[in-house]
């Protein structure tokens, strides 16, 4: 079978109408912009200053002074961080459960109310925990209480939104079944809605404790208590061996919490069903 | 005595139930037949007040049920138990709790919040389950059960309500023939032994003939037949099911009943 290129080109001109030159132009523009940015940020420093990073890495690996470190303080701070995450998240759950129900369209079918509650959740969650921590450190002084408040406020917004969405996605038939026996508002929420959303609530709460344990290490940097504060102190005095130790402490703690919460999730709500 | 007077429900321009007037005596077992979309389901939900009527009255023993609100409305729902085509049990609760939910109208709020049931309620629930042959799965989760088992749990829940009327919306449409027979037998049993009025939508004509002494035929929201199964002539069936009735009404095709021999084989 012979290929009559000219005939095919005549019959289906759109197939051969490539826009290759435009693609090359775009690619060129992207690279030109990258080059401009590198010049703008004095990118060559990445190469000239990189050896200093190696110095730090080498300092991190030298643990000869381990006996003199204040282990009690470091471990206590680590536990404090985990406690902040746990307490802050639980406080958030206490507020987010009722707010989640109130913010669900199928629980309170008032458009204005729904809009106001949802925007409120957005407001709480729109500011990062770090910003809340700065505010609470100013208001309540240095220490873990400010951190707990920061986590609680920001997490309330996140959990309330997720809980409200879980409530909006429930199976209506089960609610109808409970309504049909003469159950009131409270009984419908307790027996038809809650059993359906409880797995989501539990697993989301466990996940929040995990992620807040990570976040809480940062809160310490702005004075809101915990291991973060110890970390920043040690960075400032160039005690890189202890910085490495704290980082490992954090990684191990987070991994431990991850494992525990995965185990709890399995035990409490069972493996995923179809 | 349950009386419907010009009962109407509109969805937009469509009259799902159109000026239905009926009178159903205590202890009757009534089958409602008709095509999908004829308004059977809406009719039952109107009676239980899961749907509010647009016009007309629902009168039970002298009270206009259509006007009830708040606690009185919930009391009415408790007295008119509902059975659903999709069972409508709470999947993640165990069977016993699902059955005890039948008493939710009577349980005060603090106990509801704590999900705390009395020993009496537990005993009543296991009795109801036992009556339906479901006591051995009382502690299983509802969604671990087969459709037929779930529907029998739903009937146990209905019994827990100590209802005057049981409204069954296509109770066997999602079930295999053997389970369909078990469920229909259970409904017939609570009708006969407990004197509970049963009003059931059925999509199979032969089931309606076999279990109900009175049959109501609906078409486009209206009642087009109300009488004994014997009166369901070809002419009447054409009114209910439409002009092509003779094509669609081969009862053997839609039958849920099993031949006796097949039943004996299944039992043995």
In this structure, the number of other CB atoms found within 10 A of the CB of residue B218 comes to 25
Domain boundaries along the sequence of chain A:
5-60, 71-269
Query: Nearest-CA residue of chain A relative to B151?
Result: A177
A273·B143 Cβ contact <8 A: yes
- Substitution target from B42, B72, B90 for chain A, most A beta carbons within 10 A: B90
CA A98 – CA A28 distance, rounded (Å): 55
Chain A residues close to B109, C-beta within 8 Å: 184, 186-187
Supply the range of the domain harboring residue B139. Answer: 2-267
Mind listing the pLDDT tens digit for each residue in A2-31? 788 888 888 888 887 777 788 899 999 999
Q: Could you tell me if A99 lies within 8 Å of chain B, comparing CB atoms?
A: no
Strands B222-227 and B214-219 turn out to be antiparallel
Chain B residues close to A190, C-beta within 8 Å: 112-113, 115
Which helix (H) or strand (E) segment is A51 a member of? helix A45-61
CA A150 – CA A219 distance, rounded (Å): 9
**Residue in B89, B113, B154 nearest the CB of A190:** B113
> CA A156, A158, A159 angle in degrees (round to 5)?
65
Whether the CB-CB separation of B143 and B58 falls below 8 Å is answered with no
B90·A183 Cβ contact <8 A: no
Query: Nearest-CA residue of chain A relative to B46?
Result: A180
Residue range B103-121: mean pLDDT, rounded? 93
Q: Please identify among residues 6-35 of chain A the ones whose CB lies closer than 8 Å to any CB of chain B.
A: none
**CA-based nearest residue to B187, from B238, B151, B233:** B151
DSSP-derived letter for residue B171 is T
Runs of H (alpha helix) within B101-195: 109-114, 119-131, 147-160, 177-194
Mind listing the pLDDT tens digit for each residue in A28-87? 999 999 999 988 888 888 888 888 888 888 888 888 888 888 888 889 989 999 999 999
* Interacting residues of B267 by C-beta distance below 8 A, sequence separation 6+: none
Looking at residue A274, its pLDDT comes to 37
Chain B residues close to A273, C-beta within 8 Å: 143
Backbone angles phi, psi at A4, to 5 degrees: -95, 90
A198·B92 Cβ contact <8 A: yes
CA B193 – CA B159 distance, rounded (Å): 12
Please identify which residue in the block is written with the tokens 């009496």: B120
pLDDT tier, B251 (very low <50, low <70, confident <90, very high otherwise) = low
Total beta-carbon pairs less than 8 A apart between chain A and chain B:
89
Distances (CA, A) of B123 to A249, B28, B109: 54, 29, 21
Looking at residue B267, its pLDDT comes to 55
**Residue in A174, A183, A198 nearest the CB of B88:** A174
3-state SS class at B261 = helix
Chain A residues close to B86, C-beta within 8 Å: 173
CA A177 – CA B157 distance, rounded (Å): 10
- Substitution target from A182, A185, A199 for chain B, most B beta carbons within 10 A: A182
Q: Find the Cα–Cα–Cα–Cα dihedral B231, B237, B240, B243, rounded to 10°.
A: -150
A183·B75 Cβ contact <8 A: no
B252 has a pLDDT exceeding 60: no
DSSP A184-212: -HHHHIIIIIHHHHHHHHHHHHHHHHHHH
Comparing A41 with B97, the larger pLDDT belongs to: B97
Chain B residues close to A171, C-beta within 8 Å: 91
Q: Could you tell me if B89 lies within 8 Å of chain A, comparing CB atoms?
A: yes
Q: What's the number of domains chain B is made of?
A: 1
In this structure, the number of other CB atoms found within 10 A of the CB of residue B69 comes to 8
Q: Is the pTM of this model over 0.80?
A: no
**CA-based nearest residue to B203, from B191, B188, B213, B218:** B218
A225 has a pLDDT exceeding 80: no
Mind listing the pLDDT tens digit for each residue in B29-44? 999 998 888 889 999 9
CA A212 – CA A118 distance, rounded (Å): 22
**Residue in B76, B88, B101 nearest the CB of A176:** B88
Backbone angles phi, psi at B118, to 5 degrees: -80, 160
Q: Could you tell me if A98 lies within 8 Å of chain B, comparing CB atoms?
A: no
Say yes or no: domain A71-269 is CATH 3.40.50.720.
no
- Substitution target from A174, A178, A181 for chain B, most B beta carbons within 10 A: A181
Residue range B132-147: mean pLDDT, rounded? 92
B75 has a pLDDT exceeding 90: yes
Q: Could you tell me if A195 lies within 8 Å of chain B, comparing CB atoms?
A: yes
Q: What is the CATH number of the domain that holds B72?
A: 3.40.50.300
Chain B residues close to A198, C-beta within 8 Å: 92
3-state SS class at B31 = strand
Q: Could you tell me if A173 lies within 8 Å of chain B, comparing CB atoms?
A: yes
Looking at residue A252, its pLDDT comes to 92
Q: Please identify among residues 97-136 of chain B the ones whose CB lies closer than 8 Å to any CB of chain A.
A: 97, 101-105, 107, 109, 112-113, 115
ipTM for this prediction: 0.86
CA A5 – CA B95 distance, rounded (Å): 73
Comparing B192 with A266, the larger pLDDT belongs to: B192
Please, which residues bridge with residue A54 across strands?
Answer: none
Residue range A148-165: mean pLDDT, rounded? 93
Q: Could you tell me if A221 lies within 8 Å of chain B, comparing CB atoms?
A: no
CA A199 – CA A202 distance, rounded (Å): 5
């Amino acid at each position: 079978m012979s290929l009559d290129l000219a005939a095919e080109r005549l019959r289906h001109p759109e197939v051969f109408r490539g826009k290759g030159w435009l693609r090359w132009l775009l690619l060129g523009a992207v690279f030109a912009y990258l080059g401009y940015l590198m010049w703008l940020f004095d990118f060559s420093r990445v190469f000239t200053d990189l050896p200093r990073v190696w110095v730090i890495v080498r300092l991190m690996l030298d643990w000869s002074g381990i006996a003199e470190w204040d282990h009690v303080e470091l471990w206590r701070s680590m536990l404090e961080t985990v406690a902040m995450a746990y307490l802050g998240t639980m406080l958030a759950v206490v507020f987010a459960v009722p707010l989640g129900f109130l913010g669900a369209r199928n629980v309170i079918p008032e458009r204005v109310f729904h809009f106001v509650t949802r925007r409120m959740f957005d407001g709480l969650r729109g500011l990062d925990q770090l910003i809340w921590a700065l505010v609470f450190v100013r208001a309540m002084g240095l220490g873990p209480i400010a951190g707990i408040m920061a986590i609680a406020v920001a997490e309330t917004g996140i959990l309330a939104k997720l809980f409200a969405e879980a409530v909006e996605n429930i199976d209506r038939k089960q609610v109808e079944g409970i309504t049909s026996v003469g159950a009131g508002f409270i009984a419908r929420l307790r027996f038809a809605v809650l059993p359906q959303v409880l797995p989501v609530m539990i697993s989301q709460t466990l996940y929040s404790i995990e992620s807040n344990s990570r976040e809480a290490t940062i809160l310490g940097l702005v004075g809101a208590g915990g291991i973060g504060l110890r970390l920043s102190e040690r960075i400032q005095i160039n005690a890189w061996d202890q910085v490495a130790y704290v980082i490992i402490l954090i990684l191990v703690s987070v991994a431990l919490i991850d494992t525990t919460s995965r185990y709890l999730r399995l035990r409490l709500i069972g493996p995923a069903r179809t | 005595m349950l009386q419907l007077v010009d009962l109407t429900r509109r969805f937009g321009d469509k009259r799902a139930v159109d000026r239905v007037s009926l009178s159903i005596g205590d202890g009757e077992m009534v089958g409602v037949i008709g095509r999908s979309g004829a308004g059977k389901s809406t009719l039952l939900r109107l009676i239980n007040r899961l749907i509010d009527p647009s016009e007309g009255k629902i009168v039970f023993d002298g009270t206009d049920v259509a006007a009830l609100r708040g606690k009185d409305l919930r009391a009415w729902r408790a007295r008119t138990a509902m059975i659903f085509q999709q069972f409508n049990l709470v999947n993640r609760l165990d069977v016993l709790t699902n059955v005890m939910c039948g008493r939710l109208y009577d349980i005060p709020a603090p106990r509801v919040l704590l999900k705390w049931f009395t020993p009496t309620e537990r005993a009543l629930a296991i009795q109801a389950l036992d009556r339906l042959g479901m006591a051995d799965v009382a502690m299983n989760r509802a969604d671990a059960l087969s459709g037929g088992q779930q529907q029998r749990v739903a009937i146990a829940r209905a019994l827990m309500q100590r209802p005057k009327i049981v409204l069954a919306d296509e109770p066997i449409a999602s079930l295999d023939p053997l389970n369909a027979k078990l469920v229909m037998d259970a409904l017939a049993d609570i009708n006969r032994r407990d004197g509970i009025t049963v009003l059931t939508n059925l999509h199979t004509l032969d089931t309606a003939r076999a279990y109900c002494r009175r049959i109501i035929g609906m078409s486009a929201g209206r009642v087009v037949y109300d009488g004994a199964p014997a009166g369901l002539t070809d002419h009447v069936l054409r009114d209910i099911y439409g002009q092509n009735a003779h094509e669609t009404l081969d009862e053997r095709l839609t039958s849920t009943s099993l031949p006796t021999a097949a039943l004996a084989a299944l039992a043995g």
